[in-house]
Amino acid sequence: MSASEYEVLTAWIDATFTSKERAAKGLTKIVILDTTDSDDNHLLKDENGQPIPWEKMAESLRKKYPVLQQAGLDAFRKVNAQQASLRRSLHPSIDYELVTSAQLEPIFCYHCGFWPAYYKRFPGSQGLLTFSGVGFSADGTQAFFYFSNRCEGLCGTGDYVIMEKRDGRWVIQKEINTWVS
Average pLDDT over residues 145-165: 91
Number of other residues whose CB lies within 10 A of the CB of residue 147: 21
Cα–Cα distance between 160 and 145 in angstroms, integer? 6
Work out the mean pLDDT of the chain and round it to a whole number.
89
Least confident of 46-50, 70-74, 164-168: 46-50
Kindly report which listed range (43-57, 67-81, 121-135, 143-157) carries the lowest average pLDDT score.
Answer: 43-57
- The partner residues of 159 in beta bridges, in order of sequence, read 147, 177
Q: Sorting pLDDT into bands at 50, 70 and 90, what band is 144?
A: very high
CA 131 distance to own-chain centroid? 3
Q: Quick one: average pLDDT of 132-144?
A: 97
Contact status, residue 33 vs residue 111, Cβ threshold 8 Å: no
Residue 141's domain spans which residues? 3-40+48-180
pLDDT for 140 equals: 96
From CA 117, how far away is CA 3, in angstroms rounded?
Answer: 34
- The whole-angstrom separation of Cα 174 and Cα 172 is 6
Domain count, the chain: 1
Instruction: Examine the pLDDT at 146 and tell me if it is beyond 90.
Output: yes
